[in-house]
């Protein structure tokens, strides 16, 4: 029980520090009043401008000290209210924007994760059982290429080959299409994110499987007369899945990072493309909300992996 409490407390402390640092940095390094009003913020001699400045100050509590503002923001945030956008008329509220866009990104990341796992496991099994042969060497070279390929470049190559030249895949995402075609439009973006991650998974799982395949219990299972395939799937794969789960958790960051670039290229209106837009507009409430959502997701997934791991392998609960 203490182990779990420690982990959860650590996660909460981590998120508090992250939010405090982000909030502080944005308010100290940025100029909120200028971001809200634009050039009007500096125009203190014009009574109309002063009125606008006063209104903005009271609306965003800009006269309060930083700590108070952080407290207000935090209590709103945990209750699901992420504030008002700086830009234009402040509509829609940040929460509504996120509510509309988050499901798309979540679907994309989940789809990519499933694809990466679905590609990596058979790939690792096939290469580990033929370690050192030509096919294995070629596949190792391919993982090198995939890992070295920046995801925006991979996205462009896949889009060029599969969508433009072959015409097999849709070019972009259309938010008004029915669900099934929207899912189909997400396949290529998800594949773009999944391929390099699958290469990382495959590398690790292959090395792990090769070690496992040299163990005596594999020889024993073979001697018992079990088929090679059964030994590979039932006996060799299971122990290797331990470290695999950890790596899957750790690579969620790469998936989220990949989704930002891919959403921009395939024009998926998710939180990734929203982050880029709001950074260019210097719309800090949106940036802050998205950064926090990503951090929460990232920390939760790693917490989940830790807990899952301690259930599978109780030795880690020292």
Partner 1 sequence: MSGTDNLVTTDDASDVAVADEAVKRRLGWGFWLCIGWIVLMIILAFLAPYLSIKDPNANFIDMSGKGRPPYGPSMDHWFGTDKDARDIFSRTLYGARISLTVGFVAIAFGLLVGGALGILAGYFRGWFDRIISFLFVILLSFPSLVLAIMLTSLIERSLLTISLVLGVLSIAPVGRLARASTLQYADREFVTAARQIGATNRRIILRELLPNVVIPMGALALLGMAVAIVAEGGLAFLGLSVEKGITWGSLIQLGSEGSTTLQKSPWIAFFPIFVLFFTVLALNFAGDRLRTYLDVKESAL
CB of 56 or CB of 199, closer to partner 1: 199
3-state secondary structure the chain: CHHHHHHHHHHHHHHHHHHHHHHHHHHHHCCHHHHHHHHHHHCCCCHHHHHHHHHHHHHCCCCCCHHHHHHHHHHHHHCCCCCCCCCCCCCCCHHHHHHHHHHHHHHHHHHHHHHHHHHHHHHHHHHHCCCCCHHHHHHHHHHHHHHHCCHHHHHHHHHHHHHHHCCCCCCCCCCCCCHHHHHHHHHHHHHHHHHHHHHHHHHHHHHHHHHHHCCHHHHHHHHCCCCHHHHHHHHHHHHHHHHHHHHHHHCHHHHHHHHHHHHHHCCCCCHHHHHHHHHHHCCHHHHHHHHHHHHHHHHHHHHHHHHHHHHHCHHHCC
Using CB under 8 A, pick the residue from 82, 169, 261, 303 that binds partner 1: 261
168 contacts partner 1 (rule: CB under 8 A): no
Give the range of 58-66, 70-78, 286-294, 309-317 binding partner 1 by CB under 8 A: 286-294
> Is there binding between residue 310 and partner 1 (CB under 8 A)?
no
Q: In the complex, what is the shortest distance from the CB of residue 65 to partner 1, in angstroms, rounded to a whole number?
A: 20
From 275, 289, 303, 306, residue interacting with partner 1 (rule: CB under 8 A): 275
User: Is residue 102 at the binding interface for partner 1, with CB under 8 A as the rule?
Assistant: no
- Which of positions 124-143 make contact with partner 1 (CB under 8 A)? 125-126, 128-133, 135
Options 66, 175, 241, 279; binder of partner 1; rule CB under 8 A: 279
CB of 51 to partner 1, least distance (A): 29
Asked if 37 touches partner 1 (CB under 8 A), the answer is no
Q: Which residue from 85, 151, 185, 240 is in contact with partner 1, where contact means CB under 8 A?
A: 151
The contact set with partner 1 (CB under 8 A) reads: 14, 17-18, 21-22, 25-26, 29-30, 122, 125-126, 128-133, 135, 144-145, 147-153, 156-157, 159-160, 164, 171-172, 210, 213-214, 219, 222, 228-229, 231-232, 252-254, 256-257, 260-261, 264-265, 275-276, 279-280, 282, 284, 287, 291, 294-295, 298-299
């Amino acid at each position: 029980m203490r182990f779990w409490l420690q982990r959860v407390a650590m996660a909460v402390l981590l998120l508090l520090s992250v939010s405090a640092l982000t909030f502080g940095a944005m308010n100290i390094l940025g100029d909120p009043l200028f971001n809200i009003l634009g050039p009007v913020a500096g125009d203190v001699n014009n009574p109309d401008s002063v009125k606008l400045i006063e209104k903005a100050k009271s609306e965003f509590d800009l006269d309060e000290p930083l700590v108070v503002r952080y407290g207000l923001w935090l209590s709103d945030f945990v209750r699901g209210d992420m504030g008002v956008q700086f830009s234009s008329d402040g509509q829609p509220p940040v929460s509504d924007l996120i509510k509309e866009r988050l499901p798309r990104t979540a679907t994309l990341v989940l789809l990519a994760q499933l694809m990466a796992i679905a590609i990596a496991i058979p790939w690792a099994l096939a290469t580990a059982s033929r370690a050192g042969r030509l096919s294995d060497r070629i596949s190792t070279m391919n993982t090198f290429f995939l890992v070295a390929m920046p995801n925006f470049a991979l996205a462009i190559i896949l889009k060029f080959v599969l969508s433009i030249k072959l015409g097999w895949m849709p070019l972009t995402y259309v938010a008004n299409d029915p669900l099934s075609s929207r899912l189909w439009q997400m396949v290529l973006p998800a594949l773009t994110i999944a391929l390099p991650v699958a290469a990382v998974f495959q590398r690790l799982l292959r090395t792990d499987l090769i070690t496992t395949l040299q163990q005596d219990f594999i020889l024993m299972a073979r001697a018992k007369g079990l088929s090679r395939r059964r030994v590979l799937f039932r006996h060799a794969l299971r122990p290797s899945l331990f470290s695999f789960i950890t790596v899957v958790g750790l690579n969620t960051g790469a998936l989220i990072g990949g989704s930002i670039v891919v959403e921009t290229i395939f024009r998926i209106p998710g939180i990734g493309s929203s982050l880029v837009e709001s950074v260019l507009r210097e719309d800090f409430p949106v940036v802050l909300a998205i950064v926090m959502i990503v951090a929460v997701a990232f920390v939760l997934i790693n917490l989940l992996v830790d807990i899952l791991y301690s259930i599978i392998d109780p030795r880690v609960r020292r």
